[in-house]
Amino acid sequence: MVRYESQRVSFPYFGLAAALFLLQIVAGLFIGAQYVWPDLLSTALPFNVGRTIHVNLMVFWLLLGIMGGTYYMVSDEAETELHSLGLAYLQLGILALTGVTAIVGYLVGWTEGREYLEAPRPLDWLIVVAALMFLYNVLRTILKTRRWTVAMGVTFAGLAGMAVMYLFGMKFFASLSKDFYFWWWVIHLWVEGTWELITAGLAAYLLIRITGIDRRVVEKWLYVEIALVLFTGILGTGHHYYWIGTPKYWLMIGGIFSALEPVPIILMVWDTFRHLKDKAIDHYNRVAVYWLAGGAVTHFLGAGVLGVVHTLPSINQWTHGTQITASHGHLAFYGAFGMLVIALMYYMLPELKNRVDFDQRPGITAFWVMTLGMTAMALILFAAGVVQTYLERILGMDYLLVKTTYVRFWMFWRLVSGAFFAVGTLIFLRDFLGLAVAPAVPRRVAEKVAG
């Protein structure tokens, strides 16, 4: 049950995140259709614009979901109301305005031009301001009681690191090798560094709350996993440096530590299921367990297995920039971050409404439909990447011929799997909306039902 009124600020963050998630899926289906029918609105909405919108919406809705979950968690862990509710709403307003302006800007060609960092410079500064407001609000909340928990500290460290890493993408260097060198400090060290810290901290919090496991057990492994994530994640950045003109020693560094990157993910998967097996779960919220445990497995398959199989130098020289990369990216982001944010929503929304008796079948159905759809998409993209690598990179066939003739077959089935995933998304969003608008149950009634 919710203990602090300011935790309700998570509602609008989750709501906006869910809306942007829907828009991301619509954009993804559209560019997926353009792979099959290249002339589809190619003038009005070119593929590169649709892809930019799709990717940036993904980052934005995940970021909003993480912020909403953090505001709920930090009040719960610090055992106090949020430092400033007004600041949290102002921050949300700035981010919403920035997101809408960025999307409109992409449609009319207002962009910085660098892949994944397309936001124009004025919007970059607004994002920095909102991030600093967020960090200040969280830190002041913690300092009110000076009650630091490991899960809270790791999450805050990840959020602070994420804000710092973003700054490295705000300067453009005339040398493209130098520019891409620091560009990866944002792209890689967000995804495989700071975001992994955030994921570990929030996942640990959910494990403690859902399973009732001894906090010290989770925190012990959290230290080990975080050390490994930082060690392999930072040096593993080298697998992005192979072909941008950096010294050849990055081939060795990147190759070795890319191979080690799945180690913390394997530990996280094993640790999650060990806790779930050894501790009898009497928590009413089974759907949150599905998303949390399923996310650990999908994280390992997408980030670990599909990541390593194509990042070693001897392989990456052929597969770099093919659909194999897209396969890895889709499953990794869904498992590592998307499923965690949805797990946060399914845990926190019922708690905020004191609804221990909500129907969990739609959430579990959405879990299976979305996960099967995304897994099928990843496998299809991987097959398309193998075909693309062999025909383009080894046989030397023309890029457009391969894309329009041989890869097009796989792209059709990728679109079908994407539509299947979209059905699951609609089931989830309908369930989310039902939970969000449902009237809150009086606390004493909820406690009686739970008891």
What is the three-class DSSP state of 110?
Answer: coil
391: in domain:
no
Least reliable range by pLDDT among 231-235, 372-376, 383-387, 445-449: 445-449
pLDDT at 448: 57
The β-bridge partners of 117 are: 114
DSSP 308-332: HHHHSHHHHHHHTTSHHHHHHHHHH
SS3 category, 117: strand
Mean pLDDT, the chain, as a whole number? Answer: 89
Question: Is 100 a domain residue?
Answer: yes
Q: What is the per-residue pLDDT for 447?
A: 58
Task: Tell me how far apart the alpha carbons of residues 288 and 294 are, in angstroms, rounded to a whole number.
Answer: 10
Residue at 53 is within a domain: yes
Confidence (pLDDT) at 36: 92
Residue 131: the pLDDT is: 93
- How many Å apart are CA 176 and CA 24, to the nearest integer? 30
Q: Is residue 141 part of a domain?
A: yes
129, part of any domain? yes
How confident is the model at residue 280, as a pLDDT?
59
pLDDT interval class at 193 (50, 70, 90): confident
Q: What is the pLDDT of residue 169?
A: 86
Reported confidence tier of residue 283, pLDDT bands at 50, 70, 90: low
Domain count, the chain: 1
Residue 118 inside a domain? The answer is yes
Kindly list the distances between the CA atom of residue 248 and the CA atoms of 138, 157, 185, 427, in Å, as whole numbers in the listed order. 42, 32, 19, 49
Check pLDDT > 90 for residue 59: yes
DSSP string, 409-450: HHHHHHHHHHHHHHHHHHHHHHHHHHHHHSPPPPHHHHHHHH
299-354 tens-digit pLDDT: 989 988 998 888 889 899 999 889 999 999 999 999 999 999 999 999 999 988 88
Task: Please count the other Cβ atoms lying within 10 Å of the Cβ belonging to residue 97.
Answer: 13
Residue 446: the pLDDT is 55
The whole domain housing 84 covers 1-147
| Backbone phi, psi, residue 117, to 5° | -120, 50
Taking residues 388-416, report their average pLDDT: 92
Find the mean pLDDT for residues 359-387: 96
Q: What is the mean pLDDT of residues 265-287?
A: 72
pLDDT band at 285 (very low <50, low <70, confident <90, very high): confident
Question: Among 57-66, 138-147, 218-227, 243-252, whose mean pLDDT is lowest?
Answer: 218-227
- Smallest CA-to-CA distance from 257 within 274, 268, 242 is with 242
Answer whether residue 123 is part of any domain: yes
Q: What's the average model confidence in pLDDT over 64-77?
A: 95
Whole-number pLDDT of residue 215: 81
Report yes or no on 264 lying in a domain: no
In tens, the pLDDT along 130-152 reads: 999 999 999 999 999 888 888 89
